Amino acid sequence: MEKIYKYIEEHATPQGEALDWIEKQTHIRTNHARMLSGHLQGELMRILVQISGARRILELGTFTGYSATCMASVLPTDGHLDTLELNDELEDLILEGFEKAGVEDKVQLHIGDCKETLVRLRSEMGLDQGSADSSKLYDIVYIDANKREYCEYYDLVFDMIRPGGLILADNVIWDGKVCMDPLPQDKQTLEIVRFNNKVSADPRVESVILPLRDGLNVIRKK
């Protein structure tokens, strides 16, 4: 499998200098470089943004800004990406990467608790009053934050997305733990399993899990 991934990566569009820099700095300045989305997933997300014609994107879990940079880099000039990150110690690295990639004018970084920020964004969109202005709805939501809260995120963002929009959820294979028998009983694994089951049973969407990296659930809102 390692040889296959190496071959695939060698035949994908190169990630470019800014993403090279973010990847390198993630290894140097953090202890969790494994959390980086990486070249293959980043390129897939870039392509999904382009073929969907997305103009507004919401990301839950910025980490060091790799995936946000990938998506923002192909947004139209009037496009916008909101990205949410809990760890304020990463802010300088994130913003520096956005500037190097030339996407700083398209991206707004929100530091703080993800659920609290979502509640605020929902209010700003007018969802608390019933329904949002369609121009404020997101085209793509990327979920890659606290694995213990995936179902809550799904419920919070669902009506923030336009019909036909995409939800991308990362780490849904969770190192293969979701397939183990007996199933591990840690909170992360149980929540990821619950999330995958919730999505597959939801008649409002259609979805497929791609075995890319740690699993990416691609969900289309009908």
> How far is C-alpha 190 from the chain's CA centre?
20
Phi-psi region of 107 (alpha: psi -120 to 50; beta: other; left: phi over 0): beta
Q: What is the pLDDT of residues 203-220, one digit of tens each?
A: 999 999 999 989 999 999
Is the pLDDT assigned to residue 201 strictly greater than 90?
yes
Task: Enumerate the β-bridge partners of residue 143.
Answer: 60, 169
Phi, psi of 84 (to 5 degrees): -115, 130
pLDDT band at 66 (very low <50, low <70, confident <90, very high): very high
| pLDDT recorded at residue 188 | 96
Cβ contact 107:98 at 8 Å: yes
The pTM score is: 0.95
Q: What is the pLDDT of residues 7-57, one digit of tens each?
A: 999 999 999 999 999 999 999 999 988 889 999 999 999 999 999 999 999
| First CA to last CA distance, the chain | 34
Is the pLDDT assigned to residue 2 strictly greater than 90?
no
> How far is C-alpha 65 from the chain's CA centre?
10
